Structure 1
């Protein structure tokens, strides 16, 4: 009898704590890589593209490389960066992004970001929704994250500029 009560208590406690774990579980890890707080800004329904942002940390002794991305909500996904060219900020596609050993790379407005093109499932691009994004790494392999769509950028994000 005591064994049954204890088991039920443990299951009940686990069920109650699971939502709290999910809320805080906005970081994804695989091997030495961690991808923190993937997010995207809600845009008007007719926006032709949407960007996704996150931070990749590499706690390992070896560098890795992000070689591509894809998502079922878009026909194409590209890695982009902003560069200062002749005094003007310009966005350009990049083929890969190096993730240094013991370092981190921020994907943020006016920096590296994922550009999603040929949008398919716009129902997932509204505030409070999320969509899957798979990051392809040279050494670590694939990591799929859920990108949270928000009305506004997080407080620590640089200003967002539409593409």
Structure 2
């Protein structure tokens, strides 16, 4: 029994770490990732969780060498049609709260992507916060095609 438990523990310790987190001030950026997209797609999106253990802050901007532009976006219901729009003024991060950037919701939109990353690739993304400042995170590209962008994007 003891040998079995030790073997299981050794197996778990040999697994690659799946989560990757980054901190800047009271903010923790958890598991920034993107999904593999078709090679011809001029856009991609980045998702993550941002936890705030301090006072209110705001994600103001993002940038990456992976795209000509990065914008903070959200999905909105426009008379029954789901559309993506840039978030005016950034993404609010409430004191003591957590904000999730996820498919179908808030996200970092990468525009004019010259070459799509493939599953397993990683690329840097710099995030600019109003109070906490800047942090560069590593975005992991995961398998699984992103949903087709709704009309009107």
Q: Which residue of 1 aligns with 2:110?
A: 116
Aligned length: 136
Cα deviation, residue 86, structure 1 = 2.0
Gaps of 5+ in 1: 1-18, 154-159
Cα deviation, residue 121, structure 1 = 4.6
Q: Residue 87 in 1 paired to residue 80 in 2? A: yes
C-alpha distance in structure 1 between counterparts of 2:135 and 2:14, whole Å: 23
Greater RCO structure (CA 8 Å; 6+ sep): 2
Q: Which residue of 2 aligns with 1:5?
A: none
Between structures 1 and 2, the one with greater helix share: 1
Cα deviation, residue 90, structure 1 = 1.7
Change (3 A) 1:151 1:20: same
Change (3 A) 1:21 1:103: farther
Q: Residue 162 in 1 paired to residue 148 in 2? A: yes
Structure number with bigger Rg = 1
C-alpha distance in structure 2 between counterparts of 1:102 and 1:149, whole Å: 29
Cα deviation, residue 88, structure 1 = 2.4
Q: Which residue of 2 aligns with 1:139?
A: 131
Change (3 A) 1:56 1:21: farther
- TM-score (structure 2 length as normaliser): 0.82
Change (3 A) 1:126 1:20: same
* 1:63 corresponds to which of 40, 46, 56: 56
- TM-score (structure 1 length as normaliser): 0.77
Spell out structure 1 runs of 4+ moving beyond 3 A: 19-22
Change (3 A) 1:111 1:48: same
C-alpha distance in structure 2 between counterparts of 1:20 and 1:103, whole Å: 33
- RMSD of Structure 2 on Structure 1 (CA): 2.0
